[in-house]
Amino acid sequence: MDAVSSTFMITFEGGGQAIAATTGQSLLDAIEKAKAEPALVGCRRGGCGACKVQLVEGEVKLAKMSRAHVSAEEESEGFLLACCAEPKSDVTLRLAPKQMGIKTSVMGT
């Protein structure tokens, strides 16, 4: 039996472009693929913290994240690294406080 693929929408608090993400795709991959802003990109493996966001609404499946960038307390408040999270529902994200006010752009691969 084939696995069923679902599509979920990613939005950023305050409006902007809605981004489609499919089952098995990280939030960061979906944001990059859509060439959407904001997208801060670094190592893409959970070690640098560049893609730190806060989950405002929705559910995600998390992979291991560096505690140097997301403490257990922050994780309990919804902070995560977009490269380590796959959507399980439509989600709304907020930029992490250190990223607010920073002009962001998608870095090419």
User: What pLDDT digit, counting tens, does each position of 39-94 carry?
Assistant: 677 777 777 888 999 999 999 999 988 899 899 999 999 999 999 999 999 999 99
Domain-located, residue 13: yes
Q: Which residues pair with 61 in a beta bridge?
A: 86
Q: What is the pLDDT of residue 2?
A: 45
Say whether 36 sits in a helix, a strand or coil: coil
Domain-located, residue 2: no
Domain-located, residue 40: yes
Residue 72 lies in domain: 7-96
| Count of domains observed in the chain | 1
CB 40 within 8 A of CB 81: no
What separation, in Å, do the N-terminal and C-terminal C-alpha atoms of the chain show? 34
* Tokens 């992979």 belong to residue: 63
Say whether 66 sits in a helix, a strand or coil: coil
- Cα–Cα dist 39/32, whole Å: 7
Residue 105 pLDDT class (50, 70, 90 cuts): very low
Residue 97 pLDDT class (50, 70, 90 cuts): low
pTM over 0.85: no
